[in-house]
Structure 1
C-alpha cells in the first residue's frame, strides 16, 4: 500500500499526460494544416499567375487587333480594345509582380514589361501614322516586322514564365499532397496514440488507485466484521452481566427482608430475656412463689430457646444468601473482566465500554466485600446464638446460676440485636450497590447496541466503497 502513488498524484499525472498529448496532437495538426494551407495557397497563387500571364497576352493581342482594325478602316471605334489594353496592362503587370515569389520569374516579368512597353510604343506609332495619313511610312513600319518580332519575344517570355509556373505547380502540388498526407497521418496517428495512451493511463490508474482502494475497502469490511463479532460477544456478555446483576439485586432484596426480620426477632429475644431476668429476680420472694416463678422461668427459658433456635435457622439462611451474593459478585466480576477484554478487542469503539466494565468490577468488588462482611456478622450472630442456646439449655436443667445465665442471655441478645442492625445496614448498602451496578450494566448493554449499529453502518459503507471501486 505504501508503494502505491496517492490518488491526488495519480489522477493529475494521468489526465495531465492525456491533456499534454492532446495539446501536442492539436499543435501538430495545426502546424500540418498550416503547411497544407500554405501549400494550397501556393498552388492557388500559381494558378492565378498562370491566369494573369494569359490575361496579359490576351490584352496585348486585343491591343494589336484594335490597332490593325484602325489601320485597315481608319475608324476610331476599332481602337477600343487598344485603349482598354493600354489602360489595364500597367495594372495587370503590377498585380502580377506582387504575386511572384520566384526570382527568375521576377526577372522574366521585367523583360516582359519592357517588351510590352515596346509593343505599345510600336502600336502607338502606327496609329499616329494612320491618323496623320502617312500611309507609306505606316506600310514601311508594318512591313519591317518590328511589331511581329516584339510580339514573338513577348510570347516567348510569357511561355517561358508559363513553363516555370508549370514546374512550380508540380512541385507545389506535390508539397500540398505531402502536407495533406502528413496532416492525415498526424491526425490518425495522434488519435491512435491518444487511445493507446488513454488506455494505458486507465490501466495505470486502475492498478495504482483502484486496486489499493479495493484492498482498503476489503480491509475495512474485514475489520468491521471482526469488530461486529467482538461487539456481539461483548453484548452477550453484558446481557449475562445485566441478568446476573438483576438476580443479585433480587437476592439482596430478599436478604434485606430477612435481615429486618432477624433484627425484629433479635429484639423480641432481648425483650423475652429481659422479662426472664425480671422473673428470676423475683425468685427470692418465697418458696411457693419461688416454685411458681421457677416454673414460669422454665417456660420463659423454653420460649427463649425456641426463639433462639428459629433465629439460628434464619441466621443460617442469611449465611446461605450471603454466600450466594458473594458467588454472584464473583460471577459479576468475571463478566466485567470478560467485557473489558472484549472492549479492548473492539479498539476505539470499545474504549467507553472498558471504562463501564471497570466501574462494574469496582461495584462487584464492593458487593463481594459487603457479602464477606455480612458473612462475618452472620458468623458472629451464629456464635452468639449458639452461646445463647447453651445458656438456655443450662438454665432449663438447673436454676442455680440462672441470674448469671440470664444476664449473659440479655447481653448476648443485645449483641445479636446490634449485629442484626449492622447487618441490615450493610445489606442496604449492598442493595444500593447492586442497583447502581444494574444501571451500569444496562448502560453498557445500550452502548454496545449503539456500537453494534455503528459497526453495521461501517460494514455497509465499506461494502458500498468496494462496489463503487
Structure 2
C-alpha cells in the first residue's frame, strides 16, 4: 500500500477515534439531564393527580410513596436510574423548596377532614415550585449542551486543521496529491451544496417548531384562563351556598318563632275560656242579686202596709221601708246593668275565641309553609354544593391540562434548542467546508 494511502487511513482512523471517544464522553455527561427533567415533570403531574384523587375521597398511597421517592432521587441521586445527586446550588435549592411544599401539601392531604381551599393553595404553591425546578434544570441543560457543542466544534475544527496540515505534509512527500486535491475540491463543492440544502431544511424545521411552540403557549394561556374562570365559578358557588345556608337558618328561626306564637295563642285561648266561665258565674250572681232585690222590694211593700196599719207608731218604720224599697230598686237596676255588661263581655269573649281559633289555624299553616320553605332551601343548598364540587373538579382538570401543555411547551423548547444548535452546527460546518474548499484550491494551485 502506498504511503499516502497509509497516511490517509491513519489520519482518518485517529480522527474518528478521537471524535468518537469525545462524543461518547460528552454524551454520557449530558444524557442525565433529560432523565432529571422527565422525573421533575412526573413529580409535577403526579402531585396534581394526587390532589384530584384526594378531593374525590380517595387516598392514593402508592402515588404519594412514588412522589416521595422521585423527589428524594432528584435531590440525593439514584445510581440505579443513572441520576446523580443535585450538585448545582440553584437546582438543589429549587428541589429543596419542592420538598418543603410537598411536605406541606401532604399535611393537608392526611387530614381527616378535607380542606379544599387549603389543598388548592398548597397544590398551586407546589406547582409553581416544580415549574421553577424544571426551569432551573432546563437552563443548566442548555448551558451544558452549549458547552458540549463548543467542545465538539473545537475538536472538529482542530481535526480539519490537522487534515490540512497532513495534506501539506503529503504534498511535500509526493506530487501525486494534485489529483487528490482535485477530488477534495470537487467533494467539498458537492458537500457545500448538500450542506446549503440541509441548512434550508433545518431553517424550515426551526420556523415550524417556533410556530408550534407559539401555538402551544397560547393553548397553555387559554388553559390557565379556563382554570382561573373555574376557580371564580367555584368561589361564587361557595358564596351562594353560604347565603343559602344563612337563609335556611333564618327559615328555621322563623319556624321556631311561629311554634312559640302558636303556643302563646293556645295559652291565650285557654285563658279566654276561663274568663268566659268566670263571666258566666258572675251572671249567675247578678241574677241572684236581682232576685234578692225583688224579694227585698216585696218585703219593703209588706212592711209599708204593716206600718200603715200601725198608724202613728208605724210611720218611722214606713219611712225605713220606703228607703229599703228604694235601695232594692237601685240594686235591681244595678244588677240588670251588670247582667247586660256581662252579656256584652260574653259576646266579645266569644268573638275573641273565634279569632284566636283562626289565629291558631293560621299559625299551623305558617308552620307548614315554613317547613316547605326549609325543605326547598335544603334542596337548593344540596344543588349548590354539587355545583361547587363540580367547579372544583373542573378547576383541577384545567390545571392538569395546563401542566400537560407546559410539559409539551418544554419539550418543544428542547426541540427548538436542538434545531438551533443543529442550524449553528451546519453553519459552522458550512464555513469549515468553505475553508477546506479554499485550502484545496490553494493546494491544487501549489501542486
TM-score normalised according to structure 2 size: 0.33
**Structure with max Cα Rg:** 1
Higher relative contact order (CA 8 A, sep 6+): 2
